[in-house]
Structure 1
Amino acid sequence: MDKINWKLIQALESNGRLSFAELGKLVHLSAPAVAERVRKLEEQGVITGYGARINLEKVGIPITALVECEVYRAKEREFKDLVLGLDEVVDCYNVTGSSAFILKVAVASMSTLDVLLERLIDLSDTKTMMILSNPIKRELPLNAQEASHF
C-alpha cells in the first residue's frame, strides 16, 4: 500500500460516489490510472463494496443500543443461529472478556427492544447500553497509513 492508495481509500470512505476524475485530482493522477488502482484494490479485497449510509432515525428506527451477551456454556452455536435471523441486529462482534458477543441493534421502539432481549435471555445473560450519539463514525483510523508497512 503506497501513499496514493491510502489517499484513494480515505477519499472513497468519505464519499464512495467520487468520480475517477475527482479522485485523480486529489492524488495528481489521470482518471484511467485511478480507475486501474481502484480496480486492483477491489480485486485484492481491500475495497469490499460501496453503499449508502442510512440515517435510521429518519426511516423510523430511532433507537440503537449495544447489547453485551454472556452466552451460556454450550449454547454458542444456537446463539449464533438466533442472532443471524434477527433483523434488528446491525452488527455482531465476537470479543474477548466475559461477554463473548456484543450486538449493535436498531429498533423502532422500546417494546421492540424488550422483545428482542427476551429472545436472547434463554441463551445468554445480557447487559444493554443505549447509544446516545455517534460523534465519530469511520472505518479507518486517521493514522491507518502510519500503521501500515510499505
Structure 2
Amino acid sequence: MNDTINRKILAALQQNSRISYAELGKQVHLSAPAVAERIRKLESAGVISGYTLKVNLDKLGFPIVALVQCKVFRTKEREFKALVLSYDEVIECHNVTGEQAFLIKLAVQSMSQLDSILESFCDLSDTNTMMILSTPVDRALPETYFN
C-alpha cells in the first residue's frame, strides 16, 4: 500500500480529487484501469476514507474563522459535546491532550454571532479564542510522506 506509485496517486488526489483516472495514469505511468484498481485498494484498506471539497468560507459569507480552546468543567463533558454538535457554525471539533480538552473551529458571519456562541459555552467550559488571520499551510498529509 505504501509504494512510490501510491504516494504519487495520493499526492495527485490531494491536489485535485476530481482528476480523471486517465490523467492520473499519465502522471504515474499506468493505465486508467490500473489506477482505478489501486485507488479501489486504497479505499478498501481505509487509506482513502473519503473525498472532500475545499471552499472559500469568506466568499460564502463566513469571513470570521476562529479556533476556540475549551477547558470543560468536571462532569459537563456530555453536555458540552451536545452543545457543540448543536451549532452548524462548528466546522471541526477535536478532543485534545492538555488542560484545554477540546479545540473547536468555528466559521461565523459576524463578531456578534461568535460572541453569542462563546457565551453559550460559559456554563460548561472556560474558553480561549484565537482568530485565524491566514492559513499559510493547508494540507492533508505531511510533505515528507511523498519524498
Alignment TM-score > 0.5, same fold: yes
Q: SS where residue 98 of structure 2 aligns?
A: coil
Q: TM-score, normalised by structure 2?
A: 0.96
2:6 is aligned with 1:11: no
Point out where structure 2 has 5 or more consecutive residues left out of the alignment.
none
- Corresponding residue for 2:34? 33
Taking the aligned partners of 2:92 and 2:6, their CA distance within structure 1 comes to 27
Q: Deviations over 1:27-63 (max 9, x none)?
A: 1111100000001111111111223211010011000
Matched residue type, 2:97: T
The offset of 1:145, in angstroms, is 4.6
1:67 equivalent in structure 2: 68
Give the whole-Å Cα distance in 2 for the aligned partners of 1:102 and 1:141: 21
Counterpart of 1:105? Answer: 106
How many correspondences in the alignment?
A: 146
Q: Residues 1-150 of structure 1: matches in 2 within 5 Å?
A: 1-145=2-146
Q: Give 1:3 shift.
A: 1.1
SS at match of 1:56: coil
Q: Report how far residue 11 of structure 1 moved.
A: 0.7
Partner Cα distance (1:140, 1:134) in 2: 15
Percentage of pairs with the same residue = 62
- Calculate the TM-score normalised by the size of structure 1: 0.94
Preserved CA contact (<8 Å) 2:11 2:146 = no
How far is the alpha carbon of 1:66 from its aligned partner? 0.4
Provide Cα deviations, 1:87-139, integer angstroms capped at 9, x if missing partner.
Answer: 11111111111100010100000000001001111100000000000111011
8 Å CA contact retained: 2:71, 2:100: yes
- Which runs of no fewer than 5 residues in structure 1 stay unpaired? none
Q: Secondary structure at the match of 1:8?
A: helix
- Partner Cα separation in structure 2 for residue 141 and residue 128 of structure 1: 26
Runs of 4+ more than 4 Å apart: none
